[in-house]
Chain A
Amino acid sequence: DTAVSQTPKYLVTQMGNDKSIKCEQNLGHDTMYWYKQDSKKFLKIMFSYNNKELIINETVPNRFSPKSPDKAHLNLHINSLELGDSAVYFCASSQDRGLAGDNEQFFGPGTRLTVL
């Protein structure tokens, strides 16, 4: 029944490691997103894919690489993890109906990444 799901929920790892977070949505939406929420609760968009095509790519270190195998999945791979990468990462999805404001984004439960 979960609309947007993410795995894992918690991720604790050492500096320098490579890790991936997976996201899946069963809402039939065309667009998916990755957000980072830091310790001050500031939520900032990182990437967005529409039908497997990258449409938003914010100023994010190239250690972060999103991959969308199909429109229901958007994964985030992070190389050479750093202490500053510790945050909560949220996946979201939306169906752009082309109407102003009518593209509600549904968020997943988040993945809390802790880099030691």
Chain B
Amino acid sequence: QKEVEQNSGPLSVPEGAIASLNCTYSDRGSQSFFWYRQYSGKSPELIMFIYSNGDKEDGRFTAQLNKASQYVSLLIRDSQPSDSATYLCALTGGGNKLTFGTGTQLKVEL
């Protein structure tokens, strides 16, 4: 079992819809969870991090964490074509070592 699992997609949503990206992980000791966005040919950039169970909102983005079920998700409201990218889920066990999933490709269609 991979440490961090994501559906590779592509996930296609119409403009203005809510995009829901999911990630499951195997290590119950994982403490902090991150969502990175990576445009094609570019470097990853952090969107949000979360470490407490529940929801965390930042603008159009909401991260949700459920440690009991070992999943973390990212909701993007009012999706825009500029949101089209690969979204990488990552986690740490409390130190600096980030373990990444393989990413979900999101396509927002006009």
A residues within 8 Å of B by Cβ?
A: 31, 33, 40-45, 48, 50, 55-56, 90, 94, 96, 100-105, 107-110
Contacts and interface: CB of A to CB of B under 8 A. Distances in A.
A100 B102 contact: no
Nearest to A43: B100
Given A41-B86, A42-B102, A104 B46 contact: yes
B94 A107 contact: no
Contact of B98 (A45, A50, A96, A110): A45
Contacts of B88: 43
B97 A100 contact: no
Contacts of B25: none
B31 A96 contact: no
B43 A94 contact: no
A31 B96 contact: yes
B49 A104 contact: yes
B96 to A, nearest CB: 6
Given A100-B51, A101-B34, A90 B94 contact: no
A56 B92 CA distance: 13
Interface string B18-31: 00000000000001
Contact of A101 (B42, B44, B49, B100): B49
A94 B44 CA distance: 14
Contacts of B102: 40-42
Contacts of B43: 90, 107-110
Contacts of A102: 49
A102 B32 CA distance: 9
B50 interface: yes
A7 to B, nearest CB: 14
